[in-house]
Amino acid sequence: MKKFRLKKWMIVVVILAMAVILVTVVNRWKKNDADTAMNDPLSVVGDIVMIPGRWFGSIDSLSRLVNTYEENKNLKGEIEQHDDLKQNVKNQAQEIERLKVEEELSKTLTDYEKVSATVITRSPDTWQDELIVDRGSDDGLTENMAVMSQKGVIGRVTEVREQSSKIELLTSDNQNSNHFPIKIGTNNGEAFGILNKYEEKKQQLIASQVTKEKEIKERDVVRTSGLGGNSPADLVIGTVVKVKPSSNGIDFEVYVKPYAQMYDISFVTIIKGMAE
């Protein structure tokens, strides 16, 4: 039965091929006058002989074109897979570097009891204000604990659940809760103030109510003061980049470059308190 069908299709193909040949020959005859056809019969015979070759040659060219398209499609897929793999390797390398930085930070905090955590949520709408980490009350966390990342303080815990916590960043414009008592180490003692603003364009923190008694210079180190009891003292925040008189003329405003990259935070270290 299958052989019969195959023969049937072969007959159909042969008939179609002969039809194409006849149509081509007829068109050729119409284009030439009768004298030319009589004087050059070999030309017509040659055309008849060449037509099948041209027809099958076109089929072969089409087949090669399809094969080339498929090969290019497969090659494009392989290139895309290679690019994806390359990007994944790059991302993993960056994560490893961030972990190394966090580990180095942890080594400098031997005087403190601390918990490491991973950022699990950071919404684009509140990117500058807050983030969520994968540690909570089950890990002994409570509100107002200071939070560090990379090389400095980035904010404090403001909401705690059993297995997660919300952290408000120093870059937040929430004036009700972002006040952070700080101290600035100078050549002639310490100056105290409140870290409560952020200059987004310059990516600098601003401390206000800084007393004028001390001579504050660029690159002086800014740390937590521990006043208020919400966080331990001496956690580093950043360095002074500019000092200017405040609008009331009584004290200074100090601009601080944070040690941490506030817009690139994957891992954090939460300070629970002084180590016993």
Q: Which residues pair with 253 in a beta bridge?
A: 244
- Tokens representing 222 are 């800014």
Distance CA 144, CA 165 (A): 11
Distance CA 45, CA 35 (A): 16
Would you call 102 exposed, middle or buried from its count of C-beta atoms within 10 A (0-12, 13-18, 19+)? buried
Nearest to 226 by CA among 171, 167, 181, 166: 181
Question: Quick one: pLDDT at residue 244?
Answer: 92
Phi-psi region of 216 (alpha: psi -120 to 50; beta: other; left: phi over 0): beta
pLDDT in tens, 17-48: 566 555 555 555 555 544 444 445 545 444 54
Residues with Cβ within 8 Å of residue 73, at least 6 apart in sequence:
none
- Tokens representing 90 are 């790059």
The mean pLDDT values, 10 residues at a time, for the chain of 276 residues are 48 57 55 47 48 51 66 75 67 66 69 91 92 96 92 93 95 74 92 91 93 90 88 92 88 94 90 81
- Check: CB of residue 181 under 8 Å from CB of residue 196: no
Question: Quick one: pLDDT at residue 229?
Answer: 76
Distance CA 113, CA 55 (A): 84
Distance CA 267, CA 120 (A): 9
Question: Quick one: pLDDT at residue 176?
Answer: 55
Would you call 216 exposed, middle or buried from its count of C-beta atoms within 10 A (0-12, 13-18, 19+)? buried
Question: Quick one: pLDDT at residue 2?
Answer: 42
Question: Quick one: pLDDT at residue 212?
Answer: 83
Distance CA 139, CA 160 (A): 10
Distance CA 229, CA 251 (A): 24
Would you call 74 exposed, middle or buried from its count of C-beta atoms within 10 A (0-12, 13-18, 19+)? exposed
- Tokens representing 194 are 């409140």
All structural domains of the chain, each given as residue ranges with its CATH number in brackets, are: 1-108 (no CATH), 112-276 (2.40.10.340)
- Tokens representing 136 are 């909570």
pTM for the full model? 0.65
Amino acid identity of 267? Answer: F
